[in-house]
C-alpha cells in the first residue's frame, strides 16, 4: 500500500499537471491537499491578503475540488505553516511520498527547502516536476552558465535552443485518481469571512477563479482566430472596460485577461502556447511575432522567471546585481496619494482605482502609473510600487511584477529609457472623451472632455456646473508633471 500526498500550490488544475500524474503513479491512496499558509492567506494572523485575490483563490479551490470529486477524490484544505502542516499530515496518513510542482519565487524556495528537509528526515520520497513554465528554468541557466539574462533577444536565443531540444508538450487530465484514505479529515474550503476578509462585491470581479473558467475563456478567445494571429500587445487599448461580453474573463477588454489564470496555474502556459501555435500554423506566415505577439507574452513570462531564478535579492535594489542603485525619495505622503488615487491626475488616479477595485489594469496603464511613481514624476522607489502591485494584482507574479518595475524605473534591462508617459497626453490617444476616467472617478463624470485630464484648468464656473470643485471634491495635482519630467 502506497499512500501519497500531492501538494497543490500554483498548479490549480488537472490538465497538463506533470507533478500530479507523477504523484498518482503506483499510489494506492492519494491525498490532494492545499495548505492555507498564514504568511500569505490570513489577515487575522498578521499577513494581509487582498480579498479580491483571495476570492479568486477560493473560487479556484472550489473548482478544483469539484473536478477531483468527479474522479472519486477531493481537495483537502490544511491550515498553517506548510513546514509544520504537511509533515503532520503525511504522518497522520502514513504517506510514503510527497509530490508537488516546483516554484521559483523566493519565499517558495525557502519554504520548499524546509518542507523537503522535514519530509526526507521522516523517510518520505519527495517527487517534484516542472509545470509552471514552458521549460525548466534550470536548463536555461545551464545555457547561460548560471548568469541572469537581462536581454530579451538573447533570452529568446537560449529558449529556442532549449525548445529545439525539448519541444513544448502537454499532458491530458487524469482519467482517474486513487481515492484518499479513510483517515482524511473533511477539511473544507473556507469563506472570505472565515479568513477575516470582507467580500468586495461582484462589481469588482473581472475574472472568476478556476480551471473551468480559465479553459472557457481561452477557448472563447481562440475562436477569434484572426485576432489571435494578428494580436500585438502594444496596439491594444488600456482604456477599454465595457461590461458584458462572451468571455468569462476580461469582458470588453482589449487583451485576453488570462494572466490571473496563468499566475494561479488554473491554465497551463504550455497548453496556451500549443493552442496559439495551432492558430499560427493555420495563419502562416501571416501572424504577429515576439515580443508583441501572444507567444511573445508567454516568452516574457519565461524571461522574467529565468532572470529571477538567477538573481539574488531580485525583489529589492540593495544587493541586487542586475539593478541600478538609485537614491530614490522617501515621501510617504506622495506614495499614499499615488496608491489611493489622489494624485490630481485623473488618468493615473483612475488606473490606480481600477487596480484596487478589480485587481487588474492593462499593461500600458501599469507602465504609466509605474513611470509616474518612479522616474517620471514622484521619484519614489520601484520597490514601493512593486509591493503595492503585489498586494492588489490578481496576476501578482513575483518574477514579472518585480522585473517590470525594475524595467519601468530604468533600474534594469533599459538603463537609458527616456520615454515618460504623460498623464495628460498619453490617455488622450485612446480615450479623448475620458469615458475610462468618468467610469472610475465618478466625481469627474460631468466635466467637459476639454478638462477631463486636466481638471485644475477648468474655470471655477465649469467646476461648479460639473459639481466638482478642484481641491475640494477632487485633489489638485501633487506634482507639476512638466517640471518633474524635464
CA distances 44 to 86, 196, 289, 290, Å, are 21, 6, 47, 44
Q: Which positions ≥6 away from 84 have C-beta within 8 Å?
A: none
Q: Is 40 among the annotated ligand-binding positions?
A: no
Q: pLDDT tens digits, residue range 30-65?
A: 999 999 998 877 554 445 578 889 999 999 999 999
254-305 tens-digit pLDDT: 899 999 999 999 999 999 999 999 999 998 788 999 999 999 999 999 999 9
> Residues 261, 212: contact at Cβ < 8 Å?
no
Cβ atoms of 289 and 117 closer than 8 Å: no
**Backbone dihedral region for residue 145 (phi beyond 0: left; psi -120 to 50: alpha; all else: beta):** left
In this prediction, residue 197 carries a pLDDT of 83
Question: pLDDT value at position 244?
Answer: 42
Set out the domains of the chain in order of their start, with CATH numbers.
Answer: 3-131 (3.40.50.620), 133-171+211-310 (1.25.40.80), 332-484 (1.10.579.10)
C-alpha cell at 208: 472568476
DSSP for 124-152, please give it: -EEEEE--SSSS-HHHHHHHTTTPPP--H
Contacts of 100 (CB under 8 A, 6+ apart): 6, 7, 8, 9, 19, 112, 127, 128
- Residue 301 is assigned to a ligand binding site: yes
* pLDDT on residue 417: 60
Which pLDDT score is estimated for 205? Answer: 84
The answer to whether 163 and 135 have CB atoms below 8 angstroms apart is: yes
* pLDDT computed for residue 348 by the predictor: 98
Which of 175, 184, 20 has its CA nearest to residue 95? 184
- CB neighbour list of residue 284: distance below 8 Å, 6 or more residues apart: none
What are the C-alpha distances in Å from 145 to residues 90, 141, 200, 373, 394? 38, 6, 47, 35, 34
- Please state, in angstroms and rounded to a whole number, the distance separating the CA atoms of residues 301 and 164: 19
Contact 295, 273 (CB under 8 A): yes
pLDDT of residue 45: 41
397 is in an annotated binding site: yes
pLDDT score for 136: 96
Contact 216, 275 (CB under 8 A): no
101 is in an annotated binding site: no
Residue with cell 479568486: 56
Annotation-wise, does 259 bind a ligand? yes
Centre a 10 Å sphere on the Cβ of residue 315 and count the other Cβ atoms it contains: 18
**Is 258 part of any known ligand binding site?**
yes
The segments of the chain whose pLDDT lies below 70 read 42-48, 183-186, 203, 242-252, 415-418, 486
pLDDT of residue 246: 39
Amino acid at each position: 500500500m502506497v499512500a501519497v500526498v500531492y501538494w497543490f500550490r500554483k498548479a490549480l488544475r488537472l490538465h497538463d499537471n506533470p507533478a500530479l500524474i507523477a504523484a498518482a503513479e503506483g499510489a494506492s491512496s492519494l491525498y490532494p491537499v492545499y495548505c492555507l499558509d498564514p504568511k500569505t492567506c490570513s489577515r487575522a494572523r498578521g499577513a494581509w491578503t487582498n480579498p479580491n485575490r483571495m476570492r479568486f483563490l477560493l473560487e479556484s479551490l472550489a473548482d478544483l475540488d469539484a473536478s477531483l470529486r468527479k474522479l472519486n477524490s477531493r481537495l483537502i484544505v490544511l491550515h498553517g505553516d506548510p513546514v509544520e502542516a504537511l509533515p503532520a499530515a503525511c504522518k497522520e496518513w502514513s504517506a510514503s511520498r510527497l509530490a508537488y510542482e516546483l516554484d521559483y519565487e523566493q519565499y517558495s524556495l525557502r519554504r520548499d527547502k524546509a518542507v523537503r528537509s522535514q519530509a526526507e528526515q521522516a523517510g518520505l520520497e519527495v517527487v517534484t516536476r516542472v509545470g509552471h513554465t514552458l521549460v525548466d528554468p534550470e536548463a536555461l541557466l545551464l545555457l547561460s552558465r548560471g548568469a541572469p539574462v537581462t536581454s530579451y533577444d538573447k533570452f529568446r536565443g537560449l529558449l529556442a535552443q532549449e525548445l529545439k531540444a525539448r519541444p513544448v508538450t502537454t499532458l491530458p487530465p487524469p482519467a482517474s485518481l486513487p481515492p484518499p484514505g479513510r483517515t482524511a479529515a473533511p477539511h473544507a474550503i473556507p469563506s472570505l469571512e472565515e479568513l477575516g476578509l470582507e467580500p468586495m462585491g461582484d462589481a469588482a470581479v473581472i475574472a472568476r477563479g478556476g480551471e473551468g473558467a480559465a479553459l472557457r475563456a481561452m477557448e472563447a478567445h481562440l475562436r477569434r482566430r484572426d485576432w489571435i494571429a494578428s494580436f500585438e500587445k502594444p496596439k491594444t487599448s488600456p482604456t477599454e472596460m465595457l461590461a458584458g461580453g462572451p468571455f468569462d474573463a476580461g469582458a470588453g477588454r482589449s487583451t485576453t485577461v488570462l494572466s490571473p489564470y496563468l499566475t494561479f496555474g488554473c491554465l497551463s502556459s504550455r497548453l496556451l502556447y500549443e493552442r496559439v501555435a495551432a492558430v499560427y500554423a493555420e495563419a502562416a506566415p501571416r501572424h504577429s511575432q515576439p515580443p508583441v505577439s501572444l507567444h511573445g507574452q508567454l516568452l516574457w513570462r519565461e524571461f522574467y522567471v529565468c532572470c529571477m531564478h538567477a538573481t539574488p535579492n531580485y525583489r529589492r535594489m540593495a544587493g541586487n546585481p542586475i539593478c541600478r542603485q538609485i537614491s530614490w525619495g522617501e515621501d510617504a505622503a506622495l506614495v499614499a496619494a499615488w496608491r489611493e488615487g489622489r494624485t490630481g491626475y485623473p488618468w493615473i488616479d483612475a488606473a490606480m482605482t481600477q487596480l484596487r477595485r478589480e485587481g487588474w489594469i492593462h499593461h500600458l496603464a501599469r507602465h504609466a502609473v509605474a513611470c509616474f511613481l518612479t522616474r517620471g514624476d514622484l521619484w519614489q522607489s520601484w520597490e514601493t510600487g512593486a509591493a503595492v502591485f503585489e498586494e492588489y494584482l490578481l496576476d501578482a507574479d513575483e518574477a514579472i511584477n518585480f522585473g517590470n518595475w525594475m524595467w519601468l524605473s530604468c533600474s534594469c534591462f533599459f538603463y537609458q529609457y527616456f520615454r515618460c508617459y504623460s498623464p495628460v497626453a498619453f490617455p488622450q490617444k485612446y480615450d479623448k472623451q475620458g469615458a475610462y476616467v468618468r467610469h472610475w472617478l465618478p466625481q469627474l463624470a460631468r466635466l467637459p472632455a476639454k478638462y477631463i485630464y486636466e481638471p485644475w484648468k477648468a474655470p471655477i464656473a465649469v467646476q461648479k456646473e460639473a459639481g466638482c470643485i478642484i481641491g475640494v471634491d477632487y485633489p489638485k495635482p501633487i506634482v507639476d508633471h512638466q517640471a518633474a519630467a524635464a
